[in-house]
Amino acid sequence: MPFHKPPCHVSPPTRPRHRGGRVRAGLFSALLLLGSTAAAQPATPPAKPSALNNGSAAEASAYYKKLAKTLNFLTPATIESKANMQELLNYLGYSELSPEVVEFEAPEKLMGGGSNPPTASAFPYCGKSIELKSWKGDSLNRPDTAQGVTTSTTGAGNLWTAECVGDKVRLKSSKGDYLHRPDSNQGITTWHTGPGNDWTAEFTNGKLMLKSWKGDYLHRPDSVQGVTTFNTGIGNQWTVVERTSAPASAFPYCGKSIELKSWKGDSLNRPDTAQGVTTSTTGTGNLWTAECVGDKVRLKSSKGDYLHRPDSAQGVTTFNTGPGNDWTAESTNGKLMLKSSKGDYLHRPDSAQGVTTYFTGIGNQWTVVEPTSGGTTPPPRKQGDILVSRFFAPKIVNFSVAPEKRNIGWRRLVRINSRPNSEAAKHQVESAWILFNHFTSPPVHSPYGGTPPTEQLKDSPWGKVKIVTPGNMKNGSVNTQVALVTRCTATKEECAEVDSIYWVDFGPSDKGYKLSYQLDAFFDAGNLVAAGDTAGAAPYFVPNGCDTCHGSLKGQAILNLLDTDHWMDRLTDGDFPALARPDAPAPLFDAGKDTKSPQYAAAFDIIRTLNREIADMQRRINNQSFQLAATDKWLQLHQSSVQPEPDLITRAFEFANFNHPLHATRKPTPTPLKWTSKAEDKELVGLLNKYCYRCHGAIRFDVFSKDMIADQTSPMLDRIDPNPTQAKVTGFQMPPDRSLPAKDKQRLLDLLDQLDQETH
């Protein structure tokens, strides 16, 4: 959701055009003066040169305080203390979710089935514990290391749990991580998340073959020990041995959400910290999910990690994996006692707050409270309550950097419908559209799940040594934007006071998802770099920056189209050479690259559903907008087709702004102008699509409407090639995000001038 606005003060053009050009451009400048309001100046830091109404920190603070009063979301105190995204999830009625889960959990799991899930897996071992025997007689093995896979004839690491997700299989190891195909030429490891965890099961002659997301297979080479990936050979074939699990746990709360109350009256609590356990009388951290594994119990926290007994003399914390997560449930006098892997018990000491481990005492006894549906346990999520889509995002990229060095933008969009009776629903908030922003540096291609460590043998004076380069577990969002979309059902007078969208912003994931006043982005990068600011980023504050890009009408903002066809265009225009590599991820990340596959259709259908909701919202707020015309055109083209539409003329739509003063300066036409298949039209719309669509697919006009471009030809000519006087005006030159290549700039000027003369 980029944020743009034309400058508030524009000098009249002086460069001569053909007859009438100067008058019309001057009129355009006057319109900008009349149609804009001067932005308040931020106290600190000073405003950067920008073509946009960026707003200020002071305005953002005042806006959040107004929002707190209007929506009962946040308080002045939590605004100043920078509340985090958990406040938003609680407000929507999803206190069981954490920001980490919303950002990083696999889309199909978070959606609870998704909009159009793939067909169920035919793998016969779903949910079972299995061993995979190789042609060499040993078995696939998870060794007792931080990460990795090998083969062995014996050991607990030979057992894997088969999880079936749609038509894919995941193998969960004894350490809690998954068999993983990394983004490398060849190889295998273990990892917690990412597409590399998904395998396609194939059977040949009674043997199992596991095909990776890279197209090769899990492979046992002809070596003493080890495993890799390969395309062909007997090493790809594995014999499945189904193992019986440990005796089923007698714990009566398996799979349930429970609260553990101590003898002091408070409850075991997972605080909002990176790691740890305490006690508290209230809060979402009091809820734990009981998972039964054989005769052991694991307690999963609201943050997604587990109650953990570390390898220390005493104590308790949280962690993702390891034997410390396993507890033995014992009962005494109707109370629960949890015995750790070290032999001591989960213990509530006689202190104001806290938890530890100890061998004896009343502090070892806990009362299990199973919340009822009327209590703190949330109702089950329905299909469609949450939709998730991940995609390539050229809109957030810094185009002032050379293409081969340019960081690549990716987004994860999570649309969450407010739960009935939630505070959000009580205040007319229908849904939250949460937009996570991620970047990768070429040639790295792991925009969401991070990258696993890599190992390399290097020469040294004492022989070959193994060099391990650590990977990044998560590639977090640098900034997360939220649109709280309303649907007012109150009286007409009351609804007149309700904005169509309320804006919220959160800072980087790795800094705790803290409430932020601004998005630091690259929409003015070209102008900023030209002015000596090498970083190219500027702050865009709520709500001004948001409203500007989303309809430009305060209180009547609209959501913008998710234009999959434009994302596909950008793969072949030279701006992103890293994405042209065969190993690059798909622009529709969850769809893959095979546009005829069920996987692609399922992922695309989620975007189609989101765009239908966007069109519904646009129609409700402003049914005469060009943004709605663009969304309706996309939906028409993709009503039943998931295939990209590369033809720009086919994607063009008919729209005219008859009431715009610049429209009155044109030669009259019986119908709105449309782009045609003639060479000049195709070339011009292609250049506009590459250099201008970033802004002008949403702001003031859309490049796919020829009629709107015809209105704007004269001011566009001035802005693309300003005279010395105009060039001094902050933000006058367009596009603001880069300097145009000389050849493309001249063609734009020539083609726009030709259109100007034809239509005026």
> Mapping DSSP to helix (H, G, I), strand (E, B) and coil, where does residue 552 land?
coil
Across 249-258, 505-514, 725-734, the highest mean pLDDT is recorded for 505-514
Which of 166, 148, 306 shows the shortest CA–CA distance to 227?
Answer: 148
Per residue in 98-126, pLDDT (tens digit) is 888 899 888 988 897 333 333 334 678 87
Angle, CA of 8, 9 and 11, to the nearest 5°: 150
- The band of 40, judged by pLDDT with boundaries at 50, 70 and 90, is very low
Residues in Cβ contact with 519 at an 8 Å cutoff, skipping those fewer than 6 apart? 3, 479, 481, 505, 539, 540, 545
pTM above 0.75, yes or no: no
Which of 130, 141, 126, 125 shows the shortest CA–CA distance to 220?
Answer: 141
Please compute the mean of the pLDDT values over residues 11-26 and round it to a whole number: 42
Per residue in 300-318, pLDDT (tens digit) is 998 888 999 999 999 999 9
SS3 content of the chain, % helix, strand, coil (to 5): 30, 20, 50
User: In this model, does residue 204 exceed pLDDT 90?
Assistant: no
Predicted local distance difference test score (pLDDT) of residue 242 = 80
Percent of the chain with pLDDT over 70: 83
Per residue in 688-702, pLDDT (tens digit) is 999 999 889 998 899
Residue with tokens 């809109």: 395
Between 122 and 433, the more confident residue is 433
Domains assigned to the chain = 128-242 (2.80.10.50), 256-369 (2.80.10.50), 647-759 (no CATH)
- For residues 585 and 124, what is the distance between their CA atoms, to the nearest angstrom? 30
Per residue in 584-593, pLDDT (tens digit) is 889 999 999 9
Residue with tokens 């069109």: 615
User: In this model, does residue 225 exceed pLDDT 70?
Assistant: yes
The answer to whether 260 and 368 are in contact (CB under 8 A) is yes
DSSP H/E element including 694: helix 693-696
Q: What's 565-608 look like in SS3?
A: HHHHHCCCCCCCHHHHCCCCCCCECCCCCCCCCHHHHHHHHHHH
Predicted local distance difference test score (pLDDT) of residue 115 = 35
User: In this model, does residue 244 exceed pLDDT 70?
Assistant: no
The answer to whether 718 and 726 are in contact (CB under 8 A) is yes
Predicted local distance difference test score (pLDDT) of residue 154 = 87
Per residue in 124-160, pLDDT (tens digit) is 887 788 999 999 999 999 999 989 999 998 888 999 9
Predicted local distance difference test score (pLDDT) of residue 371 = 67
Predicted local distance difference test score (pLDDT) of residue 722 = 93
- For residues 186 and 194, what is the distance between their CA atoms, to the nearest angstrom? 17
User: In this model, does residue 467 exceed pLDDT 60?
Assistant: no
Residue-averaged pLDDT of the chain: 83
In this predicted structure, which of 120-134, 379-393, 604-618, 659-673 has the lowest mean pLDDT? 120-134
> Mapping DSSP to helix (H, G, I), strand (E, B) and coil, where does residue 481 land?
strand
User: In this model, does residue 84 exceed pLDDT 80?
Assistant: yes
- For residues 605 and 610, what is the distance between their CA atoms, to the nearest angstrom? 9
Across 94-108, 444-458, 588-602, the highest mean pLDDT is recorded for 588-602
Residue count of the chain: 760
User: In this model, does residue 50 exceed pLDDT 60?
Assistant: no
Predicted local distance difference test score (pLDDT) of residue 354 = 93
Residue with tokens 């007994």: 309
DSSP 265: S
